[in-house]
């Protein structure tokens, strides 16, 4: 079983839709949960990070973590064509090393 | 602030040849990481430097891969000899020591990656 599972999609939605992206994980040691956005031919860019369980909101983006279910989500409200990118979840146990374990990523396309 | 710079952006070599990838992290970032994405797979950790010291190299596939970080500044990743399965995108990322709130959240800045194609 992979440590992090993410539906690879792709996902296509009309402009203005609410988008829900999800990941599940198996490693109970994960404490930090991140969402990265990657545009074509660019490196991943940190979008949001959350420590332990709970919600975090930043503009149109909301990250949720449910550690009891080992399930994390990213919601995008009022999606825009500029949101079209690959979204990767990533997790770490924290501490001195803090290497990230990534999901496969899902490619999102927002149609005008 | 300049970002993480990687070169070459794309390298095409034949099986058995040697390739060296270079990463220039953000100035002042003690942590430097190498990650790799093989086609169809997730991005995977290769190794972690703290300044010039290897903190964790548990992700290095085998001894054909050699990473160095001279003087705690730029880093190189050499593949010798390259095999077909080494093809992929190699990402470098850097961070301050203790970046993030709360302490422990390692907020990485990634480079654009070096795409390696082994024929």
**What are A20-34's pLDDT values in tens digits?**
999 999 999 998 899
Tell me the two tokens of residue A1: 């079983």
Residues contacting A97, CB < 8 A, separation 6+: B48, B55, B56
Mean pLDDT of chain B: 90
pLDDT tens sequence across B75-88? 999 999 999 999 99
- State the pLDDT at residue B105: 53
Q: Closest Cα partner for B84 from B23, B6, B17?
A: B17
**Which B residues 77-106 touch A at CB under 8 Å?**
91, 93, 100, 102, 104-106
Residue A26: helix, strand or coil by DSSP?
coil
Residue B37 has which token pair? 């994405």
Provide the pLDDT for residue B15. 96
The distance between the two most distant Cα atoms of chain B, rounded to a whole number of Å, is 46
For residue B111, the model assigns a pLDDT of 96
The nearest alpha carbon in chain B to A100 belongs to: B45
Q: pLDDT above 90 covers what percent of chain A?
A: 78
């Amino acid at each position: 079983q992979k440590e992090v599972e993410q539906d690879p999609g792709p996902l296509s939605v009309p402009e203005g839709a609410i988008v829900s992206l999800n990941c599940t994980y198996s490693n109970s040691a994960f404490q930090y949960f991140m969402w990265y956005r990657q545009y074509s031919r660019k490196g991943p860019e940190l979008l949001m990070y959350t420590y332990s369980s709970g919600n975090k909101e930043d503009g149109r983006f909301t990250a949720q973590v449910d550690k009891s279910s080992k399930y994390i989500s990213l919601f995008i409200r009022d999606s825009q064509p500029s949101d079209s990118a690959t979204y990767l979840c990533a997790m770490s146990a924290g501490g001195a090393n803090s290497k990230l374990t990534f999901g496969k990523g899902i490619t999102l396309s927002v149609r005008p | 602030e300049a970002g993480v710079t990687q070169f070459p952006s794309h390298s095409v070599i034949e099986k058995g040849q040697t390739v060296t990838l270079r990463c220039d992290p953000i100035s002042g970032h003690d942590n430097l990481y190498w990650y790799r994405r093989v086609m169809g797979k997730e991005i995977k950790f290769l190794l972690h430097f703290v300044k010039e010291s290897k903190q964790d190299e548990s992700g290095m596939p085998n001894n054909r891969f050699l990473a160095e970080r001279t003087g705690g500044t730029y880093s190189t990743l050499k593949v010798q000899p390259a095999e077909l399965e080494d093809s992929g995108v190699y990402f470098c990322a850097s961070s301050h020591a203790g970046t993030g709130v709360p302490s422990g959240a390692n907020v990485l800045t990634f480079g654009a990656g070096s795409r390696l194609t082994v024929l």
